[in-house]
Structure formats: C-alpha cells, structure tokens
Structure 1
Amino acid sequence: MSSADRPGPPAPVAPVEFAVDLSAHEMLRRTHVMSALGTGWDPAAALRGEEEAYELLYSGLSEEQQRLYDELVSAGVLPARGGGHAAA
C-alpha cells in the first residue's frame, strides 16, 4: 500500500456540550449532613469551641515558638489572634 492509498487523518469532530446538574444531589447531601448533626447541634457553640481550642493551641508558647507563630502570621499562613500574638 503506497502512501497515496492510505486514508488521511480523521476529520476533526466538533465539540459537544456536556453538562451535569448536581444541585439535586447537593441538596440531598446537605440534608444528610444536617440529619447526621441532629437537632441538638448548636453552630454558635461549635464555633466558640473551635476558638477556645485555637486559643489553647497557641497559648504558653516559648520564645522560639512565639517567633515562629509571629512569622507564620506575617506570612499569612495563620490568622492573627489577640493582636497578632499568641495568648500567654
């Protein structure tokens, strides 16, 4: 078979629009999450608990730890707390 007898590359195919609507699935997922949390879940209390945990995490730091903490805050890795310094 000579090169003249071989078929050329296939013709390009026009793109086909493809879309999937996941909004119904997302609503179902949220319903399951809220059901799993239960009726006694208090989002404000959960946020307060998280803040208290962060305050404990960054409390009582040594000088070196404080320096690293301040460096991470200034680099934007950690959020500033208590005026930019970890709690003593």
Structure 2
Amino acid sequence: MHQDRTAELVPFTIDLTFEEARRRAEVVAALGPDWDPVAALRSENEAYSLLYSGLDAEQQRTYDRLVAAGVLPDEGPGRAAAH
C-alpha cells in the first residue's frame, strides 16, 4: 500500500505573465533601435508576392486549391493559413 506523501511536496509557482513580458522586452531589445516593423512587414509581403508570382497554369491551379483548403494563406491582410 502506498503512503500519501503530498504534505512533503514543496510548492512551485511561476508568474508566466511576468516571464512573457520579460521575454518580449528581450526580443525587442535584441532587434535594436533600427528595427522598423512596418518596413519588415512590407518586405515580407513583397517576398511572399514574389514567391508565388510567375506560376504556370497548373501551378496556379494547385496554388488556388491549397489556398481554398486553408493550407496556404490567401493574399488578404493578416494572411495566416487556416490550419
């Protein structure tokens, strides 16, 4: 028979809100003062457009099917894949 030893356990708590705020502050600090989020997003959108430009008819059909299925994001704002 097993003895209940829960009284011997040492409680452990961590404030995840504080840790997340600290982590985010470290990320922003690591990006440096010259980081421009608007320019970064613009560059990302340009790269995405370039990635799927110049598709032939079959590639375009495949791309359209993947977008419709939610595998690839559409070209609208906030383009994150649904799945």
Say yes or no: TM over 0.5: yes
Q: Secondary structure at the match of 1:79?
A: coil
Q: Tell me the alpha carbon deviations over residues 12-39 of structure 1, each in whole angstroms, 9 at most, x when there is no partner.
A: 677x886432222222211211111111
User: Counterpart of 1:66?
Assistant: 60
Task: State how many pairs are aligned.
Answer: 73
- Relative contact order (alpha carbons < 8 A, sep ≥ 6): 1 or 2 greater? 1
Q: Tell me the alpha carbon deviations over residues 22-73 of structure 1, each in whole angstroms, 9 at most, x when there is no partner.
A: 2222222112111111111111111111110000000000112111101101
Q: State the TM-score, normalizing by the size of structure 1.
A: 0.67
Unaligned runs of 5+ in 1: 1-8, 83-88
Return the match for 2:2 from 10, 15, 37: 10
User: Counterpart of 2:22?
Assistant: 28
Mapping 1:27-46, distance limit 5 Å: 27-46=21-40
User: In 1, distance between residues paired with 2:16 and 2:75?
Assistant: 38
Structure having the larger proportion of residues in helix: 2
Amino acid at match of 2:29: S
Q: For the aligned residues, what is the CA RMSD?
A: 2.2
Amino acid at match of 1:10: H
